[in-house]
Structure 1
């Protein structure tokens, strides 16, 4: 059990600290993380997901129950926090949507993928693959629409723009390599097409950069972030670390059990995605609370994931 926890978490914590240390001693600047993030999101991770899909049997990919489980955990958390933001904190729609994104968007790319791969092997990428499709096609476009409505002076005029904005955001998501490359890999798997070994080795070379580079970039991103605690941040931490894993656990309602259920719960327990803070900064909405939530949830997650791995390894 101890070996499983150390194998899953120690490499993650070590590489994050290396990234943080690189910023601390001035070897790299905080802004250099953007270059590393582009490498991961546009190249390494899409090919890692492609490789995982190609090497996964169609029987495992064709798992509707698992997809429904992840959808419930991701979108269920989003809707719940959206209501909490509006009713409890009295946020406007734009701010409530951003709070929902912060709580519901797990860091599957930077934090989740290395842990899932270490604990479950190549099949662990299935949760990242499907979860990424859900967030890219449903969660992010919905957030774009809600922030647009919350930022318009005339709600009626805002609603008229929704179909155009939704269509544009979905189109942008679909042509993103992190979406279409995994879909292509799934199509090849379902078609039972086996790629030549030189092709797989070429893909694998860039795919191997995803885990270490993403964690190093995360550490560099976290360096210099403001440490802040308030009611919003504490609520976000509570909902992210408890509500989302709990909703993932409800996958038993769809017949998800065993290793797939464990993958879903661990995915729900990873910290908030750094992309949520980038989105908040871009829209100038909820930025301070978003970055503070990411910082603290990343620290808290090391303990949370350790307990979950220990529990599932019994």
Structure 2
């Protein structure tokens, strides 16, 4: 079991360290992380989510109870964290939205997948695929909309036309690749459309860059940033590493999910914060320091929580 955990953690630490060292020895600069963030958010991650959706059997996507369980865990955490950021820490809407994303977006693809596959076999990928669809259809578009509203509120030009701003934000979300590509993949899956081998190979080539590039960019971000543990980070850790798996367990009870799928959902909830959340924070120039600190500590803490959950279930 220790080997399973190390298989998920060691590659993460290795690639982050490579990014950090690249700045340390002068090969790259701290500011270069912005270019890599654009690559991840605009190209690699959207195609990775598209590939996961289009390769998922529609029969597996029809497990409504399991999907509702993951939706409650992911979006319930998002709403709670958004409220905490807005009303407890008194952040502006843009900052509170980034905090919500950091608390609610688990690293399902690059930390969770190896652990789930090792414990549950091939069916362990179902939680990753369905969870990524939930984040693609609900969480990421909502983040884009709320940060768009936050931008308008920050202009200082009086009260904005909320409906107009909301419509503009929705339009930007719809045309964002990280939204429409995964949804397109899901539609193709439901229509039983099989893409030609060369097309899937082409998509896979850029999709594989998402995980490594995100982690490498995180290493660039870390260099020169003063590592902090503050109230924001501690609350984020409590919400991400403990509240989210608890909400997954509640969802399993409410929607009648039992056995291996219920265990998959809870273990997925305990997965650390996704590095893609730091990419969003970097691109929006908001909450970057606390996002980075949360991801690092969440990853370390995630080893403990995942190990305890696996020991408990098995």
TM over 0.5: yes
Number of residue-to-residue matches in the alignment: 309
Query: Can you list the C-alpha shifts for 1:261-293, whole angstroms capped at 9, x where unaligned?
Result: 444334433444556556667777655544433
Query: Can you list the C-alpha shifts for 1:216-261, whole angstroms capped at 9, x where unaligned?
Result: 2222222332212222322222222111221122221223344444
Q: Distance in 2 between matches of 1:34 and 1:109?
A: 22
Alignment correspondent of 1:10:
10
8 Å contact kept, 1:94–1:148: no
Alignment correspondent of 2:297:
296
RMSD between aligned residues: 3.3
**Cα displacement (A) at 1:5:** 2.0
Alignment correspondent of 1:233:
233
8 Å contact kept, 1:50–1:182: yes
**Cα displacement (A) at 1:57:** 0.7
TM-score (norm 2): 0.80
Alignment correspondent of 2:169:
169
Pairing 1:119-134 to 2, within 5 Å after superposition: 121=122, 123=126, 124-134=128-138
Alignment correspondent of 2:66:
66
Alignment correspondent of 2:257:
256
Alignment correspondent of 1:37:
37
**Cα displacement (A) at 1:61:** 1.9
Pairing 1:66-85 to 2, within 5 Å after superposition: 66-85=66-85
Extract unaligned runs of 5+ from structure 2: none
Query: Can you list the C-alpha shifts for 1:51-104, whole angstroms capped at 9, x where unaligned?
Result: 222221101123333332233223322332344345544556665555434423
Q: Distance in 2 between matches of 1:306 and 1:25?
A: 35
- In structure 2, relative to structure 1, the CA distance for the partners of 1:254 and 1:139 (3 Å cut) is farther
Pairing 1:1-314 to 2, within 5 Å after superposition: 1-85=1-85, 88-89=88-89, 96-108=96-108, 121=122, 123=126, 124-145=128-149, 148=152, 157-158=159-160, 161-252=161-252, 253-273=254-274, 276=277, 288-309=289-310, 311=312, 314=314
Q: Distance in 2 between matches of 1:305 and 1:30?
A: 32
Q: Distance in 2 between matches of 1:23 and 1:118?
A: 34
**Cα displacement (A) at 1:166:** 1.8
Q: Distance in 2 between matches of 1:88 and 1:294?
A: 21
